[in-house]
Structure 1
Amino acid sequence: MNHLFDIILPTYNNREELHACLLGLESQSIHDMRLLICVDGSMDGTMEFLDEYCSHTSMNIIVLQHPDGKNHGRNATRNLALPHVNARFVICLDSDAIPDPDFLEQHLCILEQGDCISAGDLTYVNAHKNHWAAYLHTRGKKRYPNMALIPFQYITTGNLGMPATFFIQLQGQDSAMRGYGGGDTEFAYRLHIAFNPNVYHAQLAIARSFMQKSINDALDQMEEFGSGNLRYIRAKHPEFTQLFNMNLVLGKGLQSRLIRVLLHPFLGSITEFLVKISPIGISIRLLPHAIMSRMLKGYQRIA
């Protein structure tokens, strides 16, 4: 074990954002780290950029890519790091996020407590303008104070710290999941089942990003998730009954039938229209209905 942190950075066609992320990692208050940059078939000059960058940086960097050089999805790409991980801790970080200078220091404060998970904060700098970013700022671990214990369902790999043994023993994420969504949820569930670790909100381990996704983009992705990876997770983990309350939504009782009526695509389309024309404060309150309507639409599309 040669270093404190192995930082896994999957990247796909975001060379400029990756560069900004690397500059943020150069500025860390803790330098005992190695970067495992996992390239997912990028066609924007990422490999050429990394060749030049690695030639002059003092950081310890390994650049990895798929043998065929093609795109295989975020999960399979992150798993390229598996044979190389030998640090005490693993940090998963999105390559379009810029970590604050004390990012690793804040994660370490939690991880040194034992076999636990440090769920860092992903802050969108344009959340005051982008409706989807504003919505995400109200969800999951964002509702909990710093150092609070949070449910495992709020684990996301955009900013996450864990003992390296967890990542290795689970063999990373499920590389069979190639479409949008659910990769973090499935990984979090396996973490919970295998280790049942305490999961802490590392609110001060901040990485900052710019949300480029529109409401239309986000809802299209939720429909894709419903038709693909949601079905996959339910088939792989049928005992995971709390997954988006789908057992209730798809049930045969009166309550389930009423829920499906309320989530009908026609009503969902009305909500979507209101989401797009409303101020952010109202939009984020309407979005849960639009999201569930799209997820159910996708799920039922191939039923």
Structure 2
Amino acid sequence: MQSKPSISVIISTYNAVEWLKKTLWGYAVQTTFDFEIVIADDGSGPETKTLLDNISENFPVPIIHVWQEDDGFQKTRILNKAIQSCNAKYIITSDGDCIPKNDFVEQHMNYREEGYFLSGGYFKLPLDISTAITNEDIISQRCFEINWLKSKGLKSSYKNHKLTAGKGAEVLNALTPTTASWNGHNASGWKKDILAVNGFDERMQYGGEDREMGERLINLGIKSKQIRYSALCIHLDHLRSYVNEEALRKNTAIRKHTRKKQYAFTYYGIDKNAGEL
């Protein structure tokens, strides 16, 4: 009987096969393979299933494909379904446009701690470099090297030090003024804690929906730990046609209410019967 993995990595996706392929290549070269991948698919067409069927044959870890019909941007809904499909006690959430560095899973594994969730970092690439990255660039890890990225046209920026932190990562984690929030592209926590707050609020569409769950975890008494310089992924650029002002306003109101009332639980999450007598 196969033992359960230590970590489940949830990767959300929607009709972005080329970006998902690059993301999965990143997970194929991790320094540990004590994890599984759960694809949270918000209604992609058959191309995504074909990719996953083909890549799963020789992939070093199990890939579970959780799919729902396309009903607009319903990431929170598919994430809740994916959470229920996770076999591990600890969950990392990321996106299908985020290539993980080869020690990404191991860093989350090493920093995890009871009573905490982890907030990782990302380095956003422009579209031309995102497109240019190949399988070999990911296997060799040169896509995380600042000199290679500059050779491809990356401009100088103070943000580039995310890629050069090295042994100074712990110090930078402690010094950064950035809040250690639950970010959809790179965060992790215990499944039991996520279930205790009833997962993601399914009323929410794009804009702060991940952070709202993190705010409820904090209201529950779970602390957040900053690892944005230790656990890194590179974020591939793309259009965001699903962004709309109405959803952003609604999400902002829900988050404000969560903070004001210090809610730790949502009645619009995984357990739909939680509010019934």
TM-score by length of 2: 0.70
Asked if 1:204 corresponds to 2:230, the answer is yes
Q: CA deviation at 1:196?
A: 2.9
Q: CA deviation at 1:229?
A: 1.6
Q: Secondary structure at the match of 2:230?
A: strand
Which position in structure 2 is the counterpart of 1:9? 11
Asked if 1:159 corresponds to 2:160, the answer is no
Which position in structure 2 is the counterpart of 1:296? none
List runs of 5+ in structure 2 lacking aligned partners: 128-149, 162-168, 263-277
Which position in structure 2 is the counterpart of 1:195? 221
**For 1:33-79, what per-residue CA distance to the aligned partner results, in whole angstroms no more than 9, with x for missing partners?**
0111011111361122212222332321110112x454451111111
Which position in structure 2 is the counterpart of 1:177? 204
Which position in structure 1 is the counterpart of 2:253? 231
Which position in structure 2 is the counterpart of 1:88? 89
Which position in structure 1 is the counterpart of 2:272? none
Larger Rg: 1
**For 1:176-197, what per-residue CA distance to the aligned partner results, in whole angstroms no more than 9, with x for missing partners?**
212x202022111101011331
Cα pair distance change 1:226/1:46, threshold 3 Å: closer
Q: CA deviation at 1:10?
A: 1.1
Higher relative contact order (CA 8 A, sep 6+): 2
Contact 1:35 1:61 in 2 (8 A): yes
Q: Distance in 1 between matches of 2:65 and 2:176?
A: 34
Q: Distance in 2 between matches of 1:170 and 1:52?
A: 36
Q: Distance in 1 between matches of 2:78 and 2:159?
A: 24
Contact 1:153 1:189 in 2 (8 A): no
Q: Secondary structure at the match of 1:101?
A: coil
Which position in structure 2 is the counterpart of 1:37? 39
Contact 2:218 2:224 in 1 (8 A): no
Q: Distance in 1 between matches of 2:253 and 2:120?
A: 28
Q: Secondary structure at the match of 1:37?
A: strand
Q: Secondary structure at the match of 2:59?
A: coil
TM-score by length of 1: 0.65
Contact 1:150 1:201 in 2 (8 A): no
Contact 2:212 2:255 in 1 (8 A): yes
List runs of 5+ in structure 1 lacking aligned partners: 241-303
* One-letter identity of the residue aligned with 2:76: N
Q: Secondary structure at the match of 2:227?
A: strand
Q: Distance in 2 between matches of 1:186 and 1:102?
A: 27
* One-letter identity of the residue aligned with 1:122: Y
What pairs up with 1:1-303 in 2 under 5 angstroms?
A: 2-43=4-45, 45-66=47-68, 68=69, 70-111=71-112, 113-126=113-126, 145-147=172-174, 154-178=181-205, 180-213=206-239, 221=243, 223-235=245-257, 237-239=259-261
Contact 1:150 1:199 in 2 (8 A): no
* One-letter identity of the residue aligned with 1:93: S
Contact 2:119 2:224 in 1 (8 A): no
* One-letter identity of the residue aligned with 2:9: I
Q: Secondary structure at the match of 1:64?
A: strand
Cα pair distance change 1:135/1:41, threshold 3 Å: farther
**For 1:267-288, what per-residue CA distance to the aligned partner results, in whole angstroms no more than 9, with x for missing partners?**
xxxxxxxxxxxxxxxxxxxxxx
Q: Distance in 2 between matches of 1:223 and 1:173?
A: 20
Cα pair distance change 1:137/1:183, threshold 3 Å: farther
* One-letter identity of the residue aligned with 1:95: G
Q: Secondary structure at the match of 2:44?
A: coil
Q: Distance in 1 between matches of 2:218 and 2:258?
A: 15
Q: Secondary structure at the match of 1:146?
A: helix
Q: CA deviation at 1:163?
A: 1.8
Which position in structure 2 is the counterpart of 1:250? none
Higher helix residue share: 1
Q: CA deviation at 1:30?
A: 0.8
Q: Distance in 2 between matches of 1:187 and 1:152?
A: 14
Q: Distance in 2 between matches of 1:202 and 1:107?
A: 11
